[in-house]
Amino acid sequence: MGTLMASTEESSVVATTSLPIEHRFSPYDFNGGTVAAVSGPDYVVVAADTRLSSGYEIKSRNVTKLHALTDKCILASAGCKTDVDQLRSVLDIRGKMYQYNHRKPMNTPSVAQMLSVTLYGKRFFPYYAFNVLAGIDAQGVGAVYSYDAIGSFERTQYSAAGSGQAYVIPFLDNVIGNRNRLEEKPILTATEVVELLKDAFLSAGERDIYTGDQVEIMVVTRDGIQTQTFALKAD
Amino acid sequence: MTAGSQMNANNLHEPAAGFDFSNYLRNQNLLQTDGAAPKLKAKKTGTTIVGTVYAGGVVLGADTRATNDTEVAERNCEKIHYIAPNMYCCGAGTAADTENTTALISRQLELLRMDTARPSRLVTAVTLLKRMLFRYQGHVSAALVLGGCDLQGPHIYQIYPHGSTAKLPYTSMGSGSLAAMAVLESSWQENMTEDMAVQLVQRAIGAGIFNDLGSGSNCDICIIKTDGTVDYRRNAVKPNELAPLRAQVQRSGRLNMRPGLTPIIKSEFKPHPVVAAGGETAMEVE
């Protein structure tokens, strides 16, 4: 007749299932990879691995994460490949329009601002792209800009982004940023920086499952862009 | 009074049998707090393991990468566990679960061998494992490939975390199992020689190492023959050596940390007080 059953002391606690879950389609996929850039007095070095992954699978061992927006400026992006591709398209179009209107290509600080504005334009459905912009600025000095997904940016001497970011940045902090070292901060040549980035990516490849296969390294100087590749482990 | 426990005669709380779920709500809350989730993650192995029967016994194979989500926690761990002198077990899933489950059943079998004065049989190991795993309803995340030879011949079994088992001529488990199975399905044949079987297992594990991101580094092999001998080949194949790649980099002297480079912020020396009973210094020799 509706009497309440007193729960006995011996009743075991059964794991309660959680509340009803609404299943939604996620428009984002993380395609992995690491990018890094280091600037110097008259050069900038950008490096990115060439592995494209999805979940636990490798989709391709040879896809570039670097994209030259002008002959002095390179955009390196990790994240969702389709968003990265679309972002590159949009930036290319806007860069072309600038060139037609001003009769000259955009300089690097202007590209940096344009990228920030483009990213914030999709503040409420962001580009899943972790960007590092590297180029030679109007004074001929190397410039690196690091971004978050919605356009907050800062000019820095060096930067890294992507799945292996946590393995590369502390290393660069020590060697490029001279942190925790009692000596004069040295001025490194582009060749030395290239070798340091190769080492950094080898280490990142050891511990990050999404980083590997190959590193593509571009050196930008006032004379143009030179590219080289370096093999990483394929496992 | 914590749920699931009872008072005994000495007024001490005895834990109830099976799993204690009293931390469930606390864990759910923790997962909602920012930054606390990593504390609750168990290390998974993200693995490729295979086993196959051949004319003279069984061959087991495993990769050697252990991952914590997407970070490689260990580059050269051992995934082929000893169960008995004539039985080894490959484990995929949560590392702590596979290690402790195989160790537990291994020790139970040793006691049984002392009791029965006979070598262990695979069906015994399989039954002990599946009974335990079913009791834990899949919460013990151990997916195993058990292989060995007993008086009835060579056998391979696969055991799932929820407690189901299958007896098969060849099998693969773990995140790289599809890559490995692709190789096994295309090349496996009955009554292989030892060399053929070892080559097949190495190729299957290699497929997992290179095509599955959860597997990597080296390949371990274990051959258990019907005559009772065991050939445990740790790192039988090492296709991912780092040294040749590092050698190609012209390492800058900048990387070297010489003595004197690290800043010393504060330096303090406190001698450790030595007081013997009776007040004499302990260094006095009588």
> With the C-alpha atoms ordered B187, B189, B192, B197, is the resulting torsion angle positive or negative?
positive
Q: Give the DSSP per-residue string, A13-66.
A: -PPPPPSPPPP----------EEEEEE-SSEEEEEEE--EEETTEEEES----E
Do A159 and A144 meet the contact criterion of CB atoms below 8 Å apart? yes
State the distance between the two ends of chain B, measured CA to CA, in whole angstroms: 57
Closest among B87, B105, B125, B99 to B44, alpha carbons compared = B99
- Token pair 């009772």 in the structure block, residue: B228
Which pLDDT score is estimated for A72? 96
A138 SS3 class: coil
Q: Give strand pairing partners of A142.
A: A136
Given 3.20.20.70, 3.60.20.10, 3.20.20.30, 3.40.50.720, which CATH number is that of A34-232?
Answer: 3.60.20.10
Distance CA B284, CA B286 (A): 6
Residue B136 has pLDDT above 90, yes or no: yes
pLDDT value of residue B25: 77
Q: What is the DSSP letter of B262?
A: S
Domain locations along chain B: 48-241
The pTM of this model reads: 0.84
* Percent of chain B with pLDDT strictly greater than 70: 85
Q: What is the pLDDT of residue A7?
A: 43
Parallel, antiparallel, or unpaired: how do β-strands B66-68 and A73-79 relate?
Answer: unpaired
Number of alpha helices (DSSP H) and beta strands (DSSP E) in chain B: 7, 14
3-class secondary structure, B92: strand
Paired residues of B94 in beta bridges: B44
For the record, the structure tokens of B195 come out as: 């060399």
How confident is the prediction along chain A (235 residues), in pLDDT tens digits per residue? 444 444 444 445 555 566 777 778 889 999 999 999 999 999 999 999 999 999 999 999 999 999 999 999 999 999 999 999 999 999 999 999 999 999 999 999 999 999 999 999 999 999 999 999 999 999 999 999 999 999 999 999 999 999 999 999 999 999 999 998 988 888 999 999 999 999 999 999 999 999 999 999 999 999 999 999 999 999 9
Which helix (H) or strand (E) element contains residue A147?
Answer: strand A142-147
Tell me the pLDDT tens digit for each residue of B55-89: 999 999 999 999 998 999 999 999 999 999 999 99
- B102 as an active site residue: the answer is no
Question: Is A209 close to B71, i.e. CB distance below 8 A?
Answer: yes
Q: For B174, which residue in chain A has the nearest alpha carbon?
A: A56
pLDDT at B30: 72
Residues of chain A whose C-beta is under 8 A from some C-beta in B?
9-10, 12-16, 18, 53, 55-58, 163, 175, 180-183, 186, 188, 192, 195-196, 198-199, 202, 206-210, 230-235
Residue A38 near residue A200 (C-beta atoms within 8 A): no
Tell me the three-class secondary structure of B21-52, residue by residue: CCCHHHHHHHHHCCCCHHHHCCCECCCCEEEE
Residues in chain A closer than 8 A to B209 (CB atoms): 235
Euclidean distance between CA atoms A87 and A127, whole angstroms: 7
Q: What residue spans define the domains of chain A?
A: 34-232
Query: Average pLDDT, whole number, for chain B?
Result: 89
Pair B48, B58: CB distance under 8 Å: no
Q: Residue A191: enclosing H or E segment and its boundaries?
A: helix A190-207
The Cα of A122 is separated from the nearest Cα of chain B by a number of Å equal to: 25
| Position B207, amino acid | A
| Count of residues in chain A | 235
Cβ pair A209:B245 closer than 8 A: no
Residue in B70, B216, B261 closest to A183 by CB:
B261
- State which CATH number among 3.10.270.10, 3.10.20.310, 3.40.50.1820, 3.60.20.10 fits the domain covering B48-241: 3.60.20.10
B31: nearest Cα among B22, B40, B44? B40
Catalytic residue, from B33, B45, B47, B70: name it: B47
Q: How far from the centroid of its chain's Cα atoms is residue A144's Cα?
A: 12
Q: What does the pLDDT read at residue B1? A: 45
Within 8 A of A53 by CB-CB distance, chain B residues are 213
Summarised one tens digit per residue, pLDDT across range A40-86 is 999 999 999 999 999 999 999 999 999 999 999 999 999 999 999 99
What is the amino acid identity at position A76?
Answer: A
